[in-house]
Amino acid sequence: MSDIRITQVDGEAALLDWQFVHNLIIPTAPLSLDEVRERAGRNRLDVAYRGDVLVGCMTVRPPADEPATATVIARVLPEHRGQGIGARLYARGLESARALGATVIETVVLASNPEGLRFALAQGFVEFDRYVLPGDTIAFVDLRLAPRD
């Protein structure tokens, strides 16, 4: 998996790549480029490539409450799933969240993404909430990383 390159969003092309992955995987809540720019100002946004081919993206929302809870979201394009890319994105996001002082890690997955839900559960996340945004019909699933013994 050494041919996977993950970089922090640092320019217009990377913003567009992050937006593309997000909007493809979360079609119920597409983001404009201005909204992505705003998110990049308050969150860590990364993009992942295999060679020059875009394969996924990742978001880390820094801790903002007590306990220090960060949200880590790894997204992999459907044709690139099952190849360890999600695990690499998640590990990088988890490392970033903990470096920002997070003591609790959460994620969110669209209920219509069974692969994403299975991945989160396999990483040790436990569902704690489901909600539907106004005007939507598909729920978002909030999950929290279970504490290690």
Most confident residue range from 17-21, 82-86, 135-139: 17-21
Q: Specify the pTM.
A: 0.92
Question: Residue 137 corresponds to which tokens in the numbers above?
Answer: 């019909």
- Looking at domain 4-145, its CATH superfamily turns out to be Gcn5-related N-acetyltransferase (GNAT) (3.40.630.30)
The pLDDT, as a whole number, for residue 37 is 96
Please classify residue 133 by burial: count the beta carbons closer than 10 Å to its beta carbon, then call 0-12 exposed, 13-18 middle and 19+ buried.
Answer: exposed
Percent of the chain with pLDDT over 90: 89
65 vs 120 pLDDT, higher one: 120
How far is residue 86's CA from residue 29's CA, in Å, rounded to a whole number?
Answer: 21
Quote the Cα angle for 138-61-91, to 5°.
95
Q: Which helix (H) or strand (E) is 105 found in, with range? A: strand 104-110
